[in-house]
Amino acid sequence: MGDMIKGNNAIAEAAVRAGARLYAGYPITPSTEIMEYLSWRMEEVGGTFVQAESELAGINMVIGGAACGVRSFTASSGPGISLKQEGITQLYDEELAAVVINVVRYGNGIGTLYTAQCDYLRETRGGGNGDYRPIVLCPSSIQEAVDLVTLAFDLAEKYRTVVTLMTEGSLGQMMEPCDMPDFKEVKKQSWGFDGKYSYKKVGIFDRDSMKEAVLMNEKHDAIKANEQRWEDGNLEDADYVFVSYGLPGRSTKGAIKQLREEGYKVGFIRPITAWPFPENAFEKVNPDVKGFITVEANATGQMVEDVALTVKKQMKANVPVYCLPYVYGIPAVKVIKADFGKIAAGEIKEVY
């Protein structure tokens, strides 16, 4: 078992070991430790660290690094990620590989410092203008976050797209034992600028052929077919299936374990990719399931929309979908169990 390490520091070190050599960003709690760590670590490995004058400047520097074929990334939270959206959609449009780390905090506007999952819809729908979706990875532990960092850079280059690592404030701030990966030898991408104009975009908008739209949909279809990731358990006989990701997903697994010991037939799906949403996981669910329950750390319920859409696709019967939104923080096992009792008793009504 590895040494104890803080989540944000572990993510930063994992990026360095994955071959990232440009970080540009602007400080914001609860992601700032990523910047602080890289401010000295990047120099040690011959990389470049820039504390930009703003979030906008930071993401545009990432565009420059990515255009040169260098593994480039940024990190922020809440309103900082909002300010980066124009750059993120531009990265996607130019088919540049980059990683964006969102250490999610709760709230509208400038928000709060509480850990939460309230950015789900923005991240999974593509928060900027246009028709695009980044791949979104959601770790539930520091070790998984470290493992997903390397995957994030690999997927970004494989599909020439943006990959978001959507963590949570508590994951960034807590400490857990973690094994770090070996350093990865990464070559500069052949399609990057090399002093002469050699960059080729996927397609030019053409009113007649719609070539760019066709290729975009082909890319999305390939990602959905090949990159769904999840963890599941006890689906085959489940009367109720819980769906939860990230740190609430850990609590939900604990609740499932205890409820099974008490005789309840319950199962779980923990999405690791929020997009593409792991629709294939639902194929294993008991066809006589009585309901699906999302456990989320936001005020309104967000992932519940993807669960409802997937249930409509996958299930022959009209199965109700419930939502347990806990606003912010990490819901306790006993709270999830108590609210499940209310659902089973008909005291909490379905959302869909």
Q: How confident is the model at residue 349 (pLDDT cuts 50, 70, 90)?
A: very high
- pLDDT tens figures, 178-188: 999 999 988 87
- Rounded alpha-carbon distances, angstroms, from residue 9 to 4, 55, 153, 236: 11, 20, 17, 39
Q: What confidence score (pLDDT) does residue 215 get?
A: 87
209 has a pLDDT exceeding 80: no
- Rounded alpha-carbon distances, angstroms, from residue 109 to 77, 86, 113, 166, 208: 12, 18, 12, 19, 41
282: left (phi over 0), alpha (psi -120 to 50) or beta: alpha
214 has a pLDDT exceeding 90: no
Domain coordinates in residue numbering, the chain: 3-226, 230-344
Q: Hey, what are 325's tokens?
A: 């939104």
324, β-bridge pairs: 295
Q: How confident is the model at residue 140 (pLDDT cuts 50, 70, 90)?
A: very high
Q: How confident is the model at residue 202 (pLDDT cuts 50, 70, 90)?
A: very low
Q: How confident is the model at residue 203 (pLDDT cuts 50, 70, 90)?
A: very low
Q: How confident is the model at residue 227 (pLDDT cuts 50, 70, 90)?
A: very high
Overall average pLDDT of the 205-216 stretch = 74
State how far the Cα of 214 lies from the Cα of 310, in Å rounded to an integer.
Answer: 24
CATH code of the region 230-344: 3.40.50.920
State how far the Cα of 339 lies from the Cα of 334, in Å rounded to an integer.
Answer: 9
- pLDDT tens figures, 112-139: 999 999 999 999 999 999 999 999 999 9
Overall average pLDDT of the 12-34 stretch = 98
> Can 3-226 and 230-344 be said to share one CATH topology?
yes
Q: Which CATH architecture does the domain made up of 3-226 adopt?
A: 3-Layer(aba) Sandwich (3.40)
The model's pTM: 0.95
Overall average pLDDT of the 66-72 stretch = 94
308 has a pLDDT exceeding 90: yes
Q: What confidence score (pLDDT) does residue 312 get?
A: 95
- pLDDT tens figures, 245-300: 999 999 999 999 999 999 999 999 999 999 999 999 999 999 999 999 999 999 99
Helix (H, G, I), strand (E, B) or coil at 184: coil
